[in-house]
Amino acid sequence: MNAQIIQRAELVFWNVAIRTLSENQRVRRLIQRMYWLLRKKSVRNIIKTIGVAATIGFLGGFIFYGLARIIR
């Protein structure tokens, strides 16, 4: 049951994505620029650094919230 729903959702997603990429030149250009940026090693390092900082901040929020609940 769940697998069928997931498969249908995936088919709908790819139908929309393929149609959008086929018909919309702006979207194609945007994706090309994103790939071009991600090829640069310096940009990838910046993205990794931001991702690590965001993950640490997110997990830190959970930890501080848990500690605040325990101390209270």
Full-model pTM? 0.49
Q: Is the sign of the CA dihedral 24, 29, 32, 34 positive or negative?
A: negative
Q: What is the mean pLDDT of residues 47-67?
A: 95
Q: Are residues 61 and 29 in the same domain?
A: no
Residues 34 and 46 reside in one and the same domain: no
Let me know the angle formed at the C-alpha of 68 by 62 and 71, rounded to the nearest 5 degrees. 140
| Average pLDDT taken over every residue of the chain | 90
Note whether 33 and 60 are same-domain residues.
no
Domain count, the chain: 2
Tell which wins on pLDDT, 63 or 3: 63
53 vs 38, higher pLDDT: 53
| For residue 1, pLDDT beyond 70 | no
| Range(s) of the domain holding residue 61 | 41-72
Amino acid making up residue 48: K
Question: Which residues contact residue 47 at a Cβ distance below 8 angstroms, ignoring those fewer than 6 apart?
Answer: 38
> Higher-confidence residue: 23 or 3?
23
| Same domain assignment for residues 46 and 21 | no
**27 touches 21 (CB < 8 A):** yes
User: Same domain, yes or no, for 2 and 35?
Assistant: yes
